[in-house]
Amino acid sequence: MAEAERIIGTPDTPDAAGDGQERPEAEQAQPPERPEGRRRIAVLFAVAVFAYLLDLVSKMIVVAKLEHHEPIDILGDWLRLAAIRNAGAAFGVGEAFTVIFTVIAAVVIVVIARLARKLYSLPWAVALGLLLGGALGNLTDRIFRSPGVFEGAVVDFIAPKHFAVFNLADSAIVCGGILIVILSFRGLDPDGTVHRD
């Protein structure tokens, strides 16, 4: 295997420079160290935990202080806080498919966790962290809030004028999605490589 890599000249092998000298077998067998990958994974999970806790705490406050009360005006009638329970997806879409949205959120979490192993890009770490934190925030509602497990209604409370009511988890998901679109257009992959189509 080491001989094949030497012939191909992969950039991660000591012989890639083309000096043609034999390396000790122990040196050839060692994979290249990429500690920055671990740091990117740490960033991903730090962003996810921050987004998740911010969403969780905000919903606890809303349920305790705002639910069953009059909305609070922040910017006149342009932006107000109004607690509602949403059985649908983000922004109140598809209330008849609560279980399906719960499954989709769980799948997103698993995919992000698997993708984290190949993550070497800081912007992608932030984007996936936002997605993960937001998905976990709404999934927690789906599992633990009434009317039942996997059918729970999400707590929404940010109510701009002429727009659907949403929460901080929805905001994290949207921001993460926008960042992923921007990174994709710029040709930056999660593994840190840049390509131009």
Report the alpha-carbon distance of residue 31 to residue 39 in Å, rounded.
18
Distances, alpha carbon 89 to alpha carbons 93, 98, 147, 173, 186, in Å: 5, 7, 16, 12, 29
* Residue 15 is among the residues annotated as catalytic for this protein: no
Is the distance from CB of 196 to CB of 84 less than 8 angstroms? no
From the candidates 55, 77, 156, 189, give the one annotated as an active-site residue: 156
Q: At 60, which helix (H) or strand (E)? A: helix 35-65
Is the distance from CB of 193 to CB of 118 less than 8 angstroms? no
From the candidates 55, 170, 191, 197, give the one annotated as an active-site residue: 170
* Residue 191 is among the residues annotated as catalytic for this protein: no
Catalytic positions, written as ranges: 156, 170
